[in-house]
Amino acid sequence: MKRAVIIVAGGKGLRMGMSTPKQFLELDGIPILCRTVHQFRSFDPEIEVILVLPEAFVEFWKKLSQPFLRPDSYRYVYGGAERFHSVKNAVDTLAPDVDIVGVHDGVRPLVSVACIAQCYTQAALKGNAVPCINPPESIRTVTADGTSKIVDRNTVKLIQTPQVFHAEVLRKAYMQPYTPMFTDDASVVEQYGETINLIEGEKSNIKITTFDDINYAQFMVSRSKNTK
């Protein structure tokens, strides 16, 4: 069974107001995106890695990653206007013999090899696997008139990546026209007509979007080093 992973790292760092996109920042001396790639290579040394990169930063990335990744250990495509278009650019380049493909956020470097393995195993068995965790806080929904109502948090899940699918299903799902409802790959595949299989994720598998997230990730990396 041939596996592939699309690692989405096409963001330009606009939300954090930085000149360098967050996926290229370092955690303990290693770029975040390099750490993410390493986790998938640790899971399967033969996995095909496709990076989605912002076109303006491709040469920057090549120099940045050179000490940590062999150039032949991945290939890349350019990011698109929305996440949907970025993933589609990569899906369109998948080799015909790829059986299972995951899509992962480049700024989730703390995902464990065990979580990755579970996602690919369950996707092979059930067609897809999407990791999630329970929300720790109370949740309310805001109504049209500005009031709010409590939501049973046992009915709500926080969705993570990698989201893993049979490759043929993902190819066909990404032939659909884009709509703003497509916030992740599960929403695209669900719209195509597939039932989504949720599995248990990891609280530590955070998506780095703020400076607080970077500080937390740095703490987790340092703690991991000290416990080895």
Q: What is the C-alpha to C-alpha distance for residues 166 and 100, in angstroms, rounded to an integer?
A: 5
pLDDT band at 16 (very low <50, low <70, confident <90, very high): low
If pLDDT is split at 50, 70 and 90, which confidence band does 13 have? low
User: Which of the four pLDDT bands, split at 50, 70 and 90, describes residue 15?
Assistant: low
Q: What is the pLDDT of residue 11?
A: 76
Evaluate if residue 19 carries a pLDDT over 90: no
The pLDDT value recorded for residue 191 is 98
Which pLDDT band holds residue 87 (cuts at 50, 70, 90)?
very high
Mean pLDDT of the chain: 94
User: What would the pLDDT profile of 118-177 be if each residue is shown by its tens digit?
Assistant: 999 999 999 999 999 999 999 999 988 989 999 999 999 999 999 999 999 999 999 999
pLDDT at 188: 98
Whole-angstrom CA distances from 86 to 128, 144, 149, 211 are 20, 33, 36, 24
- Predicted pLDDT of residue 164: 98
What residue has token string 């496709």? Answer: 50
Closest CA to 118 of 160, 67, 88: 160
Fold for 3-226, please state it.
Spore Coat Polysaccharide Biosynthesis Protein SpsA; Chain A (3.90.550)
% of the chain exceeding 90 in pLDDT: 89
Which phi and psi angles does 118 have, rounded to 5°? -65, -40
pLDDT at 224: 80
pLDDT number for residue 17: 58
Is residue 228 very low, low, confident or very high in pLDDT (cuts 50, 70, 90)?
low
Token digits of residue 66 = 């050179």
pTM of the model: 0.94
Rounded Cα distance between 201 and 142, Å, is: 27
Q: What string of H, E and C letters represents the secondary structure of the chain?
A: CCEEEEEECCCCCCCCCCCCCHHHCEECCEEHHHHHHHHHHHHCCCCEEEEEECHHHHHHHHHHHCCCCCHHHCEEEECCCCHHHHHHHHHCCCCCCCCEEEEEECCCCCCCHHHHHHHHHHHHHHCEEEEEECCCCCEEEECCCCCEEEECHHHCCEECCCEEEEHHHHHHHCCCCCCCCCCCHHHHHHHHCCCCCEEECCCCCCCCCCHHHHHHHHHHHHHHHHCC
Domain extents in the chain:
3-226
pLDDT per residue as tens digits for the range 165-203: 999 999 999 999 999 999 999 999 999 999 999 999 999
